[in-house]
Chain A
């Protein structure tokens, strides 16, 4: 079958450092694919390349057969490839609901002039956005805090809000960078269930995560990066028994204990 997203020979160099080195893989429609690897392996950089926040040094990304590398990020978003951020990135000085409403920009039918003049189309847009925002908020269990100022939210909610903002753009492919970071076990389990529900909504999900138990539970397939290179790809069971992966992670532990 053909892939919805195809990454071919993707390479990104920062000066002398090759953060992503000749990485290729494909993603199937409605799949949950995790990218794992030690700190600094190039996972976030890979996501930035896919979502066009960075321009690759070599290689390309095709989405539904169309080349999307080298576009501006807002164009990639328009085509349905949307990323959330590793850091909790939200609009701090807006309410939770306004955060999600403003993120509906891609669905606007009215022009900017229409919004300025308050045309009928623009008013219809506003109503649709509000309804959709409320729907997303209740889907993610955020309705109780919808009128809180975003900057006052606790960490777990911020992550969820980041995902809500992503969802508002109606993506086809959602890239989640460490969505479970800083969550306790219960919160993680809830979030895992939520990501599964995203797939039921028809989304394809690409995920970077350090929480291995969550990754093993949730992923259809896993891609492993180490020092920018892909060292393995396969189902969770295959990855758990892959010698190179074990070495890569052990290597990190050795460093951590000072060997």
Chain B
């Protein structure tokens, strides 16, 4: 218990104090964008992880990130909504859509589900290209930054447009959302719901024989997963102020899945670590120019050979050995 508490405190200190201090010291404010991305992508990856947790390989999170992004962009640009309201709405919209899509496709298992979700990503991209409201390949651009939040006349969050460095604001926003999402995930997994999900992962027939409504539970987990995806997509377009059909593609969907694998499927914080390592690794390799993808993929293959159960399995090896 105390160990967990210490871990949490160290983590909070790191993200809220150490990272900003480090960035201030080095003067590389562009790193805020990198860490913002890591936070948002790890929210989406957390959703993928949850579907892994019920025994489904989800390569379709890019579809919901894209959907969430467009919902937010459309509500802001065409209906004049505040950015803040679009966040929960985008999440809920995606969750609702995923319930409709999930009921039929969650009956599929194994690679079938994986492939269908992969195709779902492609469907979403093509839809974004084809629908009038998404403005085709040109996408939706010049989305205004988030406005202020005030409660009883007190300004809780300032208007991002007036900020000297809105990047820092987005960094804090993303990190706080990430913490909230992982807190929900952690609680979910460590409560009885988590145990039931695990029973689903290990044997669906047996789970239904002990009275678990497997269809409902699967859809619930998938909906939460898609909520995370939509939420992260919506915040993303706030940070980049634009969205295109190519903003989230099959590659992103695959990456979300890889983040989970790399971090470790048996660990709630696996997707966070996996995203950090993969995204940072990819960006650090930027200086290697044309060799970036080669080094990146080689490193990934080697990692899989050395640690096929994810980075976090290192700890459990030590404990066992």
Contact = CB atoms under 8 A, between A and B. Distances in A.
Nearest to A100: B210
Given A91-B206, A94-B198, A102-B195, A116 B213 contact: no
B206 A106 contact: no
Contacts, number: 85
B109 interface: no
A62 to B, nearest CB: 20
A237 interface: no
Interface in B17-39: none
A227 B209 CA distance: 27
A92 B206 CA distance: 11
A94 B202 contact: yes
Nearest to A106: B211
B107 interface: no
Interface of B, helix, strand, loop or mixed by DSSP: helix
Contacts of B198: 91, 93-94, 102
Nearest to B191: A115
B230 to A, nearest CB: 20
Interface residues of B, number: 22
A137 interface: no
A112 B187 CA distance: 12
Contacts of A206: none
Interface residues of A, number: 35
Contact of B206 (A98, A112, A165): A165
A83 interface: yes
Counting chain A CB atoms within 10 Å of each CB, the highest count among B188, B191, B206, B215 belongs to B206
Interface string A82-94: 1111000111111
Contact of A82 (B187, B188, B209): B209
Contacts of A165: 206, 210
Nearest to B220: A112
A93 B309 CA distance: 15
Counting chain B CB atoms within 10 Å of each CB, the highest count among A90, A94, A116, A126 belongs to A116
A65 interface: no
A154 B243 CA distance: 56
B202 A77 contact: no
Contacts of B214: 74
A74 B213 contact: yes
A5 interface: no
A98 B208 contact: no
B192 A74 contact: no
A91 B192 contact: no
Interface in A104-160: 105-106, 108, 112, 115-116, 118, 122, 125-126
Contacts of A250: none
B208 A74 contact: yes
A98 B195 CA distance: 8
Contacts of A168: 210
A74 B218 CA distance: 14
B199 A112 contact: no
A90 B187 contact: no
Contacts of A93: 198, 202
A92 B210 contact: no
Nearest to B202: A91
A122 B192 contact: yes
Contact of A72 (B188, B195, B199, B213): B213
Contacts of A108: 192
25 contacts: A53-B205, A72-B213, A73-B205, A74-B212, A74-B213, A78-B211, A82-B209, A82-B210, A89-B205, A89-B206, A91-B198, A91-B202, A91-B206, A93-B198, A101-B195, A102-B199, A102-B210, A105-B196, A106-B210, A112-B193, A112-B220, A118-B187, A122-B191, A126-B192, A166-B210
Of all A-B residue pairs in the complex, the 5 with the closest CB atoms, nearest first, are A106-B211, A77-B211, A115-B192, A103-B210, A73-B208
Interface of B: 187-188, 191-193, 195-196, 198-199, 202-203, 205-206, 208-215, 220
